[in-house]
Amino acid sequence: MKRLAASVGLATALTIGACTALVPAWPAAVAAQELGEAPPEEDPAIVEARMAVRRRDFEGAVQLWRRAAARGNHEAEYRLGVAHRSGQGVPKDLDEAVRWFRAGAEGGDDDARFALAMLLRDGRGVARDRDEAIRLLELAARAGHREARQQLKELRESGAVAYSAAASRVRAHRLDPRAALEQSIRVGDPGSAREALARGAPIDGAPGDDQHWRPLLLAIDQDQPDLVRLLLDHRASPGVRSRAGEPALIEAVRAGNRKIVRMLLAAGAPADERAASGYTALMVAAQAGRADLARDLIGAGADVRVTLDDGSSAASVARRFGHVDLHRDLVRRGSPTTVGPSPAAALALAGAGAKGDDVTMPPLVEAARRGDATLVGQLLDRGARSDVHDSGGETALTRAAAGGYVEVVRALLAAGAAVDAPGAGGTTASMQAMGSTEPGADAVFALLLRAGASPHARDGMGRAVVDFASAGASPAKLDALREAGGSWTAASIGAALSEASAAGRRGVAEALLGQVERDEDVVRALCRAIEQGQREIESLLLSRGAFANGDCGDARTPLSVAARQGDAALVERLLGAGADPARAPEGQDTALIAAASRGHLAIVERLLEAGADVNRRGARRMTALMAAASNDHVEVVERLLAAGADRGMRSDTDHTALEIARQAGAETSAERIESRRPGLRGWLPGGAR
């Protein structure tokens, strides 16, 4: 920034159209101007213009800036933009302001970049373009422009659903329908997506297009259940496949979003879809240890008896990846287990395994995985090495620990197996036991600690033993870890509870609740459970004292999360538990704004009935009416107006709900707002509220 601070002061004053005398900020600058001395690098016309402004001769200043601008002075271009924006010295003309700011910005003037970015951000004199505004702010911020740095931070961290939706809608109007639909999905804006589809965006992607995402698959990848629902409602094929041949259902199971999986199944996605690897959706769920998804798939008709060419079933996949409780459940439902080698065959192969030949599952590891203590003993007697690894990196000890096989673990330790020998990813047997919910896992964990397993061990990713608690914690394991000298922080237990809650592991969540020290950790776990549709966990946490008015840790409340998800039953329960419909962290969206932005009319009505403030502001000073209008949720707009929504209130960009609706192309909502005959209160200016 080359110019004096006096210039910055002038820019600020002209920005708001000030009519008061303008005084330079630095004494040195004042002295220089009074003496008529120009800094060597400045155009004399700039200095003369500065003096003219001090005399309040704005017309004269404009003429001087024009002369300097004609010589290519970029500061003068910026000054002319300020003059046209404020109407001082020339008629107010935003189009001219944009033209001059753009000229200055292209010439490298950081104040011009900042000024143009603000107009692009607000859509004043130019179509709103959030991406270009951010680009310009980044350039100015890198040069040390303090205001640019602050605005850049606010733009990136904005939590206003309505603001971001309106901005994306305006940008989408300039794109072809396919590109507009893709952008809408990426920013999570159903309103823009709906318009792109109405303009002809191909619902399943253009035929022969192998360069772009299929819309449904992109919505799954972006974890956007509202967009998935919208696309399915518009007849997107639930069986669409990616360019790599992966079906939508498989991708949803991998992403782990239960709500999306259920939507696809309800829409007709075949429950026995196969991945490119040959795995069925049930096997993918088994690999991830997602018992809740496995139950949904089986309920939708997934065949538990399906096996791969090597005989692997969903049950054996669950066992292979250490999810022994799910393995047991799948076997009970009829999933076959992989037939391992007979004792005779295993003994015959023992020599090969002991020599370290390339065997996918060395006999000792296979016997340990199956929990066959007799065969493990025989193999060890024949000289099998206790430290042999399978092709996945696991040892016999880590496999046995994951399965909860106490006798096998005891035999391996007696044969000299190193108690903390790392398996796949550097995980130890004690970590595997902590993460297992197999009935024998508690005894195995205690046995390993007594044998000298370190309670402070860490795997290849730096995770401690307690970090595996989210998958298989029990009161006995946590007590044993503490008695062995292990410890954990309140944050680590809270994080484990959140993960267990999101995955629907009720028994694990119950054990962790006994160790949680902070109320806020229970609330955050509740929010995760709500997001993933884990009703059983929601009930558990609410019954154990999750505070309905708590903070999710990310500027949301459980009520606002439930409202945004459209879960009317949970909203009712939270209200019954004392949730305050008017509560929200300062400057963040309320439950009413969250529901209005997504068009959940029934929830909007219930929140209003419960006392939600219809005119309460959220992020970026947006109101529920602005949120609903920007997404063209007409029925919600009408209900909010009937409840007294003030259509004169303005956001931090100085726009009313009517202006936001028009900028976003939400013409029907704009008509409803404009035709509403407000009382005197509705016509009062809302900018100062």
Residue 277 tokens read as 């690897």
Q: How far apart are CA 49 and CA 246, in angstroms?
A: 66
Query: For residue 535, how far is the Cα from the chain centroid?
Result: 21
Tell me the CB-side half-sphere exposure of residue 373, using CA atoms within 13 A: 12
Q: What is the 3-state secondary structure (H, E, C) of 115-148?
A: HHHHHHHHCCCCCCCHHHHHHHHHHHHHCCCHHH
> pLDDT: is 607 or 551 the higher one?
607
pLDDT attached to residue 134: 81
Q: Is the pLDDT of residue 679 over 80?
A: no
Q: Where are the alpha helices (DSSP H) in 55-109?
A: 58-70, 74-86, 94-106
pLDDT attached to residue 429: 94
Q: Is the pLDDT of residue 27 over 70?
A: no
Q: How far apart are CA 478 and CA 489, in angstroms?
A: 13
Query: For residue 654, how far is the Cα from the chain centroid?
Result: 28
Q: DSSP label at 686?
A: B
Following DSSP, what letter does each residue of 271-325 receive, concatenated?
A: TT-B-TTS-BHHHHHHHHT-HHHHHHHHHTT--TT-B-TT--BHHHHHHHTT-HH
pLDDT attached to residue 158: 47
Q: Is the pLDDT of residue 555 over 80?
A: no
pLDDT attached to residue 338: 53
Closest CA to 523 of 545, 499, 507: 545
Contact partners, residue 249, CB within 8 Å, separation at least 6? 238, 239, 261, 264, 265, 269, 270, 271, 273, 281
- Can you state the angle between helices 291-299 and 258-266, rounded to 10 degrees? 10
In angstroms, the Cα distances linking 76 to 82, 97, 104, 375, 409 are 10, 12, 8, 88, 80
Q: Is the pLDDT of residue 431 over 50?
A: yes
Q: Is the pLDDT of residue 87 over 90?
A: no
pLDDT attached to residue 361: 64
Three-class secondary structure of residue 27 per DSSP? helix
580-632 pLDDT, tens digit per residue, is 888 877 778 899 998 998 889 999 999 999 999 999 998 878 899 998 998 88
455-475 pLDDT, tens digit per residue, is 999 887 778 898 899 989 999
Which residue in this structure is represented by tokens 């970015």? 117
Residue 447 tokens read as 């046995």
Q: Which of 125-134, 172-181, 225-234 has the lowest mean pLDDT?
A: 172-181
Let me know: does 592 contact 600? Beta carbons within 8 Å.
Answer: no
Q: How far apart are CA 579 and CA 593, in angstroms?
A: 16
Q: Is the pLDDT of residue 401 over 90?
A: yes
Q: How far apart are CA 356 and CA 351, in angstroms?
A: 9
Segment 657-676 shows an average pLDDT of 86
Domains in the chain with CATH codes: 5-157 (1.25.40.10), 187-332 (1.25.40.20)
Q: Is the pLDDT of residue 682 over 60?
A: no
pLDDT attached to residue 602: 94
500-532 pLDDT, tens digit per residue, is 898 888 999 999 998 988 888 898 899 888 888
Q: Which of 188-197, 396-405, 440-449, 613-622 has the lowest mean pLDDT?
A: 188-197
Q: How far apart are CA 48 and CA 29, in angstroms?
A: 13
Q: How far apart are CA 666 and CA 195, in angstroms?
A: 9
pLDDT attached to residue 311: 80
Let me know: does 54 contact 11? Beta carbons within 8 Å.
Answer: no
Segment 398-412 shows an average pLDDT of 94
Following DSSP, what letter does each residue of 459-508 receive, concatenated?
A: -TT--BGGGGHHHH--HHHHHHHHHTT----HHHHHHHHHHHHHHT-HHH
Query: Is 83 exposed, middle or buried, given 0-12, 13-18 or 19+ CB atoms closer than 10 A?
Result: buried
**pLDDT band, residue 209 (cuts 50/70/90):** low
The single-letter code of the amino acid at 203 is: I
Q: What's the mean pLDDT when you consider all of the chain?
A: 80
Closest CA to 526 of 488, 484, 467, 567: 567
Let me know: does 563 contact 573? Beta carbons within 8 Å.
Answer: no
- Can you state the angle between helices 258-266 and 225-233, rounded to 10 degrees? 10
Q: What angle do CA 486, 492, 494 make, to 5 degrees?
A: 130
Residue 301 tokens read as 């008709």
Contact partners, residue 422, CB within 8 Å, separation at least 6? 428, 459, 460
Following DSSP, what letter does each residue of 347-401 receive, concatenated?
A: HHHHHHHHTT---SS-HHHHHHHHT-HHHHHHHHHTT--TT-B-TTS-BHHHHHH
Q: Is the pLDDT of residue 354 over 80?
A: no
pLDDT attached to residue 343: 47
For 678, other C-beta atoms within 10 Å of its C-beta total 15
In angstroms, the Cα distances linking 561 to 159, 367, 610, 624, 656 are 13, 47, 17, 15, 26
pLDDT attached to residue 278: 85
pLDDT attached to residue 639: 94
Three-class secondary structure of residue 241 per DSSP? strand
pLDDT attached to residue 545: 62
Q: Which of 212-226, 391-405, 631-645 has the lowest mean pLDDT?
A: 212-226
pLDDT attached to residue 28: 35
Q: Is the pLDDT of residue 249 over 60?
A: yes
**pLDDT band, residue 398 (cuts 50/70/90):** very high
Q: Is the pLDDT of residue 10 over 60?
A: no
Buried-exposed string 336-349: b where 16+ CB fall within 10 A, e elsewhere: bebebbeeeebbeb
Segment 338-357 shows an average pLDDT of 44
In angstroms, the Cα distances linking 618 to 555, 584, 590 are 11, 8, 6
Segment 416-430 shows an average pLDDT of 91
**pLDDT band, residue 22 (cuts 50/70/90):** very low
Segment 321-332 shows an average pLDDT of 83
The backbone region for 279, taken as left when phi is positive above 0, alpha when psi lies in -120 to 50, beta otherwise, is beta
Share of the chain above pLDDT 70, in %: 83
Contact partners, residue 72, CB within 8 Å, separation at least 6? 107
> pLDDT: is 153 or 44 the higher one?
44
Backbone angles phi, psi at 280, to 5 degrees: -85, 165
Please measure the distance between the N-terminal and C-terminal CA atoms of the chain and give it in whole angstroms: 35
Q: How far apart are CA 497 and CA 664, in angstroms?
A: 41
Q: DSSP label at 619?
A: G
Backbone angles phi, psi at 649, to 5 degrees: -70, 150
**pLDDT band, residue 156 (cuts 50/70/90):** low
Q: Is the pLDDT of residue 235 over 50?
A: yes
Which residue in this structure is represented by tokens 């096989």? 405
**pLDDT band, residue 554 (cuts 50/70/90):** low
Radius of gyration of the chain, Cα coordinates, nearest whole angstrom = 32
Q: Is the pLDDT of residue 342 over 50?
A: no
Q: Is the pLDDT of residue 448 over 90?
A: yes
**pLDDT band, residue 7 (cuts 50/70/90):** very low
